[in-house]
Every structure is written in structure tokens, then in C-alpha cells.
Amino acid sequence: MIPKSHPRYESLMTREQIVGGVKKGITSINGLIAQGRGEAFDYLIGEKTSVSALQSEKVAAALLLLAKKPVISINGNAAALVPEGLIRLGEAANAPLEVNLFHRTEERVNKIIRHLRSLGAKRICTRSDGLIPGLGHERAKVDIKGIFSADVVLVPLEDGDRCKALVDMGKTVIAIDLNPLSRTAQCANVTIVDNITRAVPNISKFIEELKGLNENELQRLVKGFDNKNNLANAIDEIIEYLSSGV
């Protein structure tokens, strides 16, 4: 039991959730390594949402509101860390969830679907009748009525290849990735350099805030955003934080 007074309480609890996910069979053992990499970058950004991340979270909310067919992709780490948050975000954005795994097994996909349903998820795309072009077979499997035909896809903790393949399919890809240098971060249309545990509730909050805006106003928000520029700001914020003598 980790005491709440521990200075690294939140980070340690997050780690426990991932370990719990592995024990339940919803998170891949490789997910532990991904989490470790994420933690290292979270340290560098001061374990808080930066100004640039808030900016991209707001644009992500606008894109989800504008989307005709948004889908939220769920992997084993996301399912262990913020399942309820992702379910709420799906409801707010009117977007179904779809389990999409790098280390895919049908058993793990089904476990994650059951886990999400037990927490109240209603809309989950469960078929694997489509293939993303240009990827190995297992990693490419998607639901034709879900990610395959989506216009906007939110991909928390994606791998670079698949992110690129989705962009190549003409989709607008929103990635959540604490590493601003990863291939995913570099190739997504909107990159949120923040911990998924903070980013998901923030996007939901922005959806609430922006849902009164009309299409033109939402489009203006999206057009005013430049992902390369925002990533450069994210890196500058890390440098500033580190030079502030933490």
C-alpha cells in the first residue's frame, strides 16, 4: 500500500495500475516498458500539463466535435490507466471506442472489451474485418465501421508506424504521447504531449466548454493550430523547466 503522503504518490499509483493491467491480462508485458519511457518524459515536463499541451487538448476537443465519424482507439496501457475517462470522453465526443493493440491477441482484445463494458462502455467497435494498408497483418486489423472508416482517430500511446499508416489513409490523427520526439508525436496531426491520465479529462472538459461554438468557430481554432510549432513549444517548455533549477 502506497501512503498518500508519498511525494511520488500519483506516479507510483499509475505504475500500480499498469502492473494491475498486466496481472489481469489486459496490458501487455511490453506496456511496462512504454510506461517507463512515459514516466521519464513526464519527469522532464514537471508532471503537469504544459501550456502547449493545453493548446493541443483544446484543438483535439474541437476536432472531435467537428468530426463526422470520430473513434477512440484503446490499447492495453490506456485501458489500465484511464478506462472510465476514455468511456466518458467517448460519450462526450459521440465517439465509439475500438480496441487496437500492437501486440494483438484475440484473448487480450476480448479481455479489454469486457473490462470496458464492466465499467459502463456502451459503444465499442468489436469487429476486425478491415486492414490498415501497409502494416503487418495482426497490427493492421481494425473494424470497418470503426477506425477503418473514421475521419478523426484519437490514438493514445500509439506506435509510429501505425500512426503514419492512419495519416496516410487520410485520417486526422490525434496522438497522446509524453515523448515529443517519438515518431508518433512527429507524424500525428495533433500531438498532445501530456500524460494520458491528465490529457483525457482535459479533452473532455474542453468538449464541454466548446460545444456551444458553431462550426466556423471550431474550424478557426483548428486552423490556428500548427502541430510542428506546438511540438517545438513543448520541447522549449521542457528546456525552460530544466533550466529553472528544479
List interacting residues with ligand ATP (CB under 6 A). Answer: 34-35, 37-38, 41, 77, 81, 157, 159-160, 176-179, 182-184, 195-196
26 vs 178, which CB is nearer to ligand ATP? 178
| Dist. CA 238–CA 215, nearest whole Å | 34
Shortest reach from residue 202's CB to ligand ATP, in Å: 12
- The nearer residue to ligand ATP, 218 or 227, going by C-beta atoms, is 227
The residue nearest ligand ATP at its CB is: 38
19 vs 188: CA distance, rounded Å: 28
Residue 25, C-alpha cell as written in the block:
491480462
Q: If we measure between CA atoms, which residue out of 209, 198, 174 comes closest to residue 188?
A: 174
Shortest distance in whole angstroms from residue 145 CB to ligand ATP: 26
| Least CB distance to ligand ATP at residue 213 (A) | 27
> Based on C-alpha coordinates, what's the Rg of the chain?
17
Sign of the Cα torsion 131, 137, 139, 143 reads: positive
Shortest reach from residue 18's CB to ligand ATP, in Å: 8
- Put residue 99 in one of left, alpha, beta given phi > 0 → left and psi -120 to 50 → alpha: beta
Q: Which is nearer to ligand ATP, 20 or 224 (CB)?
A: 20
**Does residue 193 contact residue 52 with C-beta atoms inside 8 Å?**
yes
The residue among 113 and 192 lying less far from ligand ATP, judged by its C-beta, is 192
Q: Which is nearer to ligand ATP, 71 or 187 (CB)?
A: 187
Task: State the nearest-atom distance from the C-beta of 12 to ligand ATP, in Å.
Answer: 13
Per the DSSP assignment, residues forming a β-bridge with 152 are: 70, 172
Please enumerate in sequence order all residues whose Cβ is within 8 A of that of 100, keeping only pairs 6 or more positions apart, or say none: 73, 74, 75, 141, 142, 147, 155, 162
Phi then psi dihedrals of residue 175, to 5 deg: -110, 145
Query: In whole angstroms, how close is the CB of 40 to ligand ATP at the nearest point?
Result: 8
Identity of the residue, 45 or 66, whose beta carbon is nearer to ligand ATP in the bound complex:
45
